[in-house]
Amino acid sequence: MTKRRKWLILLLPLGIAVLCLMLKLYLEHIAVLHIPCMLWFLTGLYCPGCGGTRSIRALLQGDLLLSLRCNPAVPLLILLGLLWYAEQLLAVFGRPKKIIPRSRRFWVPLLGMLLAFYLLRNGISTLAPPR
C-alpha cells in the first residue's frame, strides 16, 4: 500500500466529520434548494430515493429510528461505508480482513427486503416517509 493511500485512509474521518458539521449547520438552507421528487409529484408514489434528505437530517439529529423510517438505504449505506473504512484501516496497519459480506446469499435477500419495503410503503401509510 502506498504511503499516500495510507494518509488518505487515516485522514478520511476528519473529512467526513467536517462534511457532517457543514451539513448540520446548513441543512435548513440546503432543504430550501431541495428539488421535489417528480415521481411523487406526478403519481403520488414514493420512489426509492424519497425520504433520503429527511433520513440524513434524522441521523444528524441522532434519531436512528426516524432515519430508518424515512429511507432505510441511507443508514445502510453509512454502515457499509464504515465497514469499508474498517477494512481499509486494517489493511493500512498490515492486517487485511474482509468485513463486508461478499456472497450473493447476503446481498440478494438484503436487496429484496429493500425492494419490498419500497413497494410496500406506497400501500401502507405507516411505512411512508413522514412529510
Torsion 91-96-102-106 (CA) sign: negative
pLDDT at 98: 93
pLDDT at 30: 64
CB atoms within 10 A of CB 20: 13
Range of the domain at 46: 3-127
Residues with Cβ within 8 Å of residue 78, at least 6 apart in sequence: 59
pLDDT at 67: 93
Q: Can you state the angle between helices 3-32 and 52-60, rounded to 10 degrees? A: 110
pLDDT at 80: 93
pLDDT at 16: 84
Residuewise pLDDT in 10s, the chain (131 residues): 677 777 777 788 888 888 878 777 777 666 666 677 888 889 989 989 888 888 988 898 899 999 999 999 999 999 999 899 889 888 888 889 999 999 999 999 999 999 999 999 999 888 888 87
How many folded domains does the chain comprise?
1
pLDDT at 107: 95
pLDDT at 73: 94
